[in-house]
Structure 1
Amino acid sequence: MTDPLHTDLLRLAREAAHRAGELLRDGRPADLAVADTKSSPVDVVTEMDIAAEKLITGLISERRPDDGMLGEEGASTEGSTGIRWVIDPLDGTVNYLYNLPTWAVSIAAEQDGETVVGVVAAPMRGETYHAVRGGGAWATGARDGERRLVCRPTAPLDQALVSTGFNYVADVRVHQAEVARRLIPLVRDIRRGGSAAIDLCDVAAGRLDGYYERGLNPWDLAAGDLIAREAGALTGGRPAERPGGELTIAATPAVFEPLQRLLEEFGAWHD
């Protein structure tokens, strides 16, 4: 039976993600420009990233003023309830800047340090993915209503479709390209979508067999990681580590261990 608190957190996360997704989809200016940069000149922030985070944090603060928050665009409060919201208001900013459809709003709620609720809204797909810890993973869409997400049936690594992402620092990206070059002959093929949150949900939905990326932040993966796990995928980082900065992996049970082993051999976590 779902904890009533988690049900309430899910309801709020879905409302905030839906509102932010509508703002981003319908309010995108024709002359959208870069507002700031982060790790490099090509790692960008737009005015819409900032506006979406303000909308999300404002709504959550109004409903749950004593909760903590961690947001990509600067939201950071400690809170006193044991609940912390981890927010990526626009995952896939470069896609959004170029008017490509693969971007999402990602909102997770942690309780005492463990993720208990995750929501990823992908407005250009017309889909929202969500999970509550222990309650499975689900997707809702205008075309097919609500459906339970289950990762793909087991298949060997050489038949796996695997997605990855690249850093915006040139030297790091060069090494990541070399890792991908070594991996390509050993899998069915590799994809690069540009949104970690959507890649994790695509593993959950059976659209990918695996996904890996170096250098993700908590807001990139908190919601998607829970959704993937609740759909039956395995997630982690380097052996015996949790997903995060050095390496994030999500894959079907048959693909996870051999993929992790190869990425460790290839040194995917460092230059």
Structure 2
Amino acid sequence: MTIADDADLAARLVRDAGELAHRMRSAGLEAQTKTSISDVVTAADHAAERLVVDTLATERPDDGVLGEEGASRDGTSGRTWVIDPVDGTYNFVAGLDWWCSAIALTDGDDLVLGAIHHPATGRTFVGGPDLPSRVDGEALGRIVDRPLAESCVTTYLHPPYFSGEVGAAFGRMAARAATLRMLGSGSMDAMAVAEGRLHVVCQHSVPPWDELPGAAIIRGAGGVTRHVEAAGVDWYVAGAPTAVDEVCAALTTP
């Protein structure tokens, strides 16, 4: 089994999960609130995650799984598949197109690869630190380095955090960027960075299923990823190297 075999499997898993969720949305769904009005889940999330978990149980039975919607299995291989069946569920429920299905593969502490399928366009991204990133089999261009002042930052900050130390750190970062976008799907935001349409991802308290698929593909396209502690929370920053460094400096320097 090679990394190419794993990449092919990952691409198939996210395509199947994304297409299932898209069909279920077209048939009509009701959403349930998890932690807030913007944090929702549907039957499509659960069905897509189950599809991925069942396929992995057959094709990678020794690997572990960790899913956003509760799937969890310890493996014996040291490898774990991290699953986000529908990333951007609020957008998904609202009928917006900025959502996807995503998966990452880790081996111990090492990030091996990520795959992301965008049902609205039918495109599938795959890449990793040692796997040059591709979309539908075509190589992505390398991320072009640039300073934060010339960068569009894609981010999200929940309204309760607008004030206080977290809001102040966010404000320092935002003030140094060329512009901001809050689009509602961390993995799709990462794909916009990997393609050079946006330039930096920045968000705090990011769970692994929201971080790792996009992080792998950004790294496979020549970008960098970092974590930094600021205002009592952990910030995840990824994209063009110089801009990433300047975001981290802005977050940590009052």
TM-score between the two structures when normalised by the length of structure 1:
0.85
Query: How many Å apart are 1:27 and its aligned residue?
Result: 2.3
Distance 1:44 1:117, change over 3 A: same
Q: What CA deviation, in whole Å up to 9, does each residue of 1:85-141 have, x standing for no partner?
A: 10011110000010110001111111233121210111113221111431211112x
Q: Which moved more, 1:87-96 or 1:25-34?
A: 25-34
Query: How many Å apart are 1:166 and its aligned residue?
Result: 2.6
Matched, 1:163 2:154: yes
Matched, 1:204 2:198: no
Aligned to 1:257: 245
Describe the SS at the equivalent of 1:232. coil
Q: What CA deviation, in whole Å up to 9, does each residue of 1:202-227 have, x standing for no partner?
A: 21111111110011101111111111
Aligned to 2:227: 237
Describe the SS at the equivalent of 1:27. helix
Q: Distance in 2 between matches of 1:220 and 1:39?
A: 16
Aligned to 1:269: none
Aligned to 1:86: 82
Q: Distance in 1 between matches of 2:128 and 2:153?
A: 25
Structure 1: gaps (5+ residues): 267-271
Distance 1:166 1:204, change over 3 A: same
Query: How many Å apart are 1:183 and its aligned residue?
Result: 3.6
Contact 1:119 1:223 in 2 (8 A): yes
Q: Distance in 2 between matches of 1:125 and 1:165?
A: 23
The total of aligned residue pairs comes to 251
Contact 1:139 1:149 in 2 (8 A): no
Query: How many Å apart are 1:186 and its aligned residue?
Result: 2.0
Contact 2:101 2:117 in 1 (8 A): yes
Aligned to 2:236: 248
Matched, 1:172 2:168: no
Aligned partner letter, 2:246? P
Structure 2: gaps (5+ residues): none
Aligned partner letter, 2:236? T
Q: Distance in 2 between matches of 1:154 and 1:60?
A: 37
Aligned partner letter, 1:172? Y
Identical amino acids, percent of aligned pairs = 33
Contact 2:113 2:131 in 1 (8 A): no
